[in-house]
């Protein structure tokens, strides 16, 4: 039986469609084959000058990167089978040169629990570090290395008291072990608080400059390349950058570090009062609003001013004595807040202690003494 004319036409159309499809798909291949011998790199378009802010950022990084160091720590372990002792890698972090004597600043948590630390400079040289001092309240640590020649310059010091939200900042560090990484951002907020393993770190700078694990201990710089903070932590459920990082302000660093170098620990200035955070809840249960003075140390500003400590009366009740309710007119409700307020001052500063005594408000002007 002969195929119908319609079927023949349909078959011819299908064959034509297949031929057109094959040819259409082959055109790029044919073109590539024909033009392959003429393929060359494309012409580079002239860029023009870098923008002023780009040049400033590049110059800042080049000027400051050599002052930033890479820190790796080790932990001494005992093999339970052979009883042999050996060092195992523990963690990494960042730091920076503080002075020409080889002192390096980093976070306390970078070196906490480590049996040894090694510092690598930007030129690749590695030195074993000696621990000089730590301060848990500010999460700061000072290490020292001996660099015989070619010692990098220390970072210039800025101030944090005049920082403003929106100000540009720059962080240099070693996130995830990626050496000497620069990230930029702004000051997002000031006077932040962050819980730590040893308490609450107060007065922190909040920034949106990317800070990740390994950035800890590295510098936060302003647009003039001055140190304004020490990157200390991130806020992130995943442990990676989420737009919120924190830095210890340089004003606190400049108070704490000299004492760590001199004494190995930091002691804030004192009035000679003994207080204890454990007494705060006890005071609240008794309806006392403020900080109890547990003891007045002899021959101190508080003793000379005649401050009175809390006592147990003969009936077993509490005579609260003088209750601290403020410092320089700023409200004080807890022992931790009182210590944080003192930490903002230096020995030799005159302060006004606001006291409640027998229901009356009394101000005592005193001069802070160095802590022991």
Q: For residues 350 and 369, what is the distance between their CA atoms, to the nearest angstrom?
A: 10
**Number of other residues whose CB lies within 10 A of the CB of residue 101:** 13
**Number of other residues whose CB lies within 10 A of the CB of residue 135:** 24
Q: For residues 122 and 125, what is the distance between their CA atoms, to the nearest angstrom?
A: 7
Segment of 57-61, 172-176, 212-216 carrying the highest mean pLDDT = 57-61
**Number of other residues whose CB lies within 10 A of the CB of residue 272:** 19
Q: What is the CA radius of gyration of the chain?
A: 32
Architecture of domain 62-144: Beta Barrel (2.40)
**Is residue 97 over pLDDT 90?**
yes
Q: For residues 184 and 225, what is the distance between their CA atoms, to the nearest angstrom?
A: 12
Q: For residues 94 and 28, what is the distance between their CA atoms, to the nearest angstrom?
A: 53
Same fold, 62-144 and 168-259: yes
Q: For residues 40 and 335, what is the distance between their CA atoms, to the nearest angstrom?
A: 74
Cα separations in angstroms, 21 against 7, 25, 213: 21, 6, 55
Q: Could you read off the pLDDT of 135-174 as tens digits, one per residue? A: 998 999 999 999 988 889 999 999 998 899 999 999 999 8
* Mean pLDDT value of segment 124-132: 94
Domain boundaries, the chain: 62-144, 168-259, 273-367
pLDDT of residue 88: 63
Domain at 168-259, CATH class: mainly beta
**Is residue 2 over pLDDT 60?**
no
Contact partners, residue 147, CB within 8 Å, separation at least 6: 102, 121, 125, 127
Marked catalytic residue, from 216, 280, 322, 343 = 216
Contact partners, residue 274, CB within 8 Å, separation at least 6: 293, 294, 295, 296, 297, 309
pLDDT of residue 239: 58
Q: Could you read off the pLDDT of 236-245 as tens digits, one per residue? A: 555 555 668 8
Q: Is 216 a catalytic residue?
A: yes
Marked catalytic residue, from 67, 94, 109, 322 = 109
Q: Could you read off the pLDDT of 288-321 as tens digits, one per residue? A: 899 999 999 999 999 999 999 999 877 777 888 9
DSSP percent split of the chain into helix, strand, coil, nearest 5: 25, 35, 40
pLDDT of residue 313: 79
Burial 283-300 (b: 16+ CB within 10 A, else e): beeeebebbbbbebeeeb
Full DSSP string of 105-134: EE-HHHHTT-SEEEEE-TTS-EEEEEEEEE
Q: Is 146 a catalytic residue?
A: no
Q: Is 139 a catalytic residue?
A: yes
**Is residue 1 over pLDDT 60?**
no
Q: What is the mean pLDDT of the chain?
A: 87
**Is residue 248 over pLDDT 90?**
yes
Q: For residues 136 and 123, what is the distance between their CA atoms, to the nearest angstrom?
A: 31
* Mean pLDDT value of segment 342-357: 91
Residue 15 has φ and ψ, to the nearest 5°, of: -65, -40
Structural fold of domain 273-367 = Pdz3 Domain (2.30.42)
Band (pLDDT 50/70/90 cuts) for residue 253 is: very high
């Amino acid at each position: 039986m002969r195929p119908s004319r319609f079927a023949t036409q349909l078959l011819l159309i299908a064959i034509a469609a297949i031929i057109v499809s094959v040819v259409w798909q082959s055109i790029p291949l044919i073109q590539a084959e024909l033009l392959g011998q003429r393929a060359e790199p494309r012409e580079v378009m002239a860029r023009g000058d870098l923008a002023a802010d780009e040049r400033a950022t590049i110059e800042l990084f080049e000027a400051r990167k050599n002052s930033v160091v890479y820190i790796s720590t080790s932990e001494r372990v005992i093999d339970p089978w052979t009883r042999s002792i050996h060092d195992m890698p523990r963690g990494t972090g960042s730091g920076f040169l503080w002075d020409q004597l080889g002192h390096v600043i980093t976070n306390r948590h970078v070196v906490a629990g480590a049996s040894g630390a090694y510092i690598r400079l930007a030129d690749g040289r590695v030195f074993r570090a000696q621990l000089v001092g730590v301060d848990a309240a500010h999460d700061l640590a000072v290490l020292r290395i001996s660099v015989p020649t070619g010692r990098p310059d220390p970072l210039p010091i800025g101030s944090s008291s005049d920082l403003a939200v929106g100000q540009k900042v720059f962080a240099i560090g070693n996130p995830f072990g990626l050496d000497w990484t620069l990230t930029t951002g702004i000051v997002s907020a000031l006077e932040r608080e962050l819980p730590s393993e040893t308490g609450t770190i107060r007065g922190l700078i909040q920034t949106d400059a990317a800070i990740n694990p390994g950035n800890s201990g590295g510098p936060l710089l302003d647009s003039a390349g001055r140190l304004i903070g020490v990157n200390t932590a991130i806020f992130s459920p995943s442990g990676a950058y989420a737009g919120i990082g924190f830095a210890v302000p340089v004003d606190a660093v400049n108070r704490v570090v000299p004492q760590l170098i001199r004494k190995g620990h930091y002691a804030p200035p004192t009035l000679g009062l003994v207080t204890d955070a454990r007494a705060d809840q006890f005071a609240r249960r008794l309806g006392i609003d403020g900080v109890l003075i547990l003891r007045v140390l002899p021959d101190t500003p508080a003793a000379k001013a005649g401050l009175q400590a809390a006592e147990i009366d003969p009936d077993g009740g509490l005579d609260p004595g003088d209750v601290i309710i403020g410092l320089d007119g700023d409200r004080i409700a807890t022992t931790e807040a009182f210590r944080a307020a003192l930490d903002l001052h230096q020995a030799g500063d005159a302060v006004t202690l606001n006291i409640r005594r027998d229901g009356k408000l009394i101000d005592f002007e005193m001069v802070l003494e160095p802590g022991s």
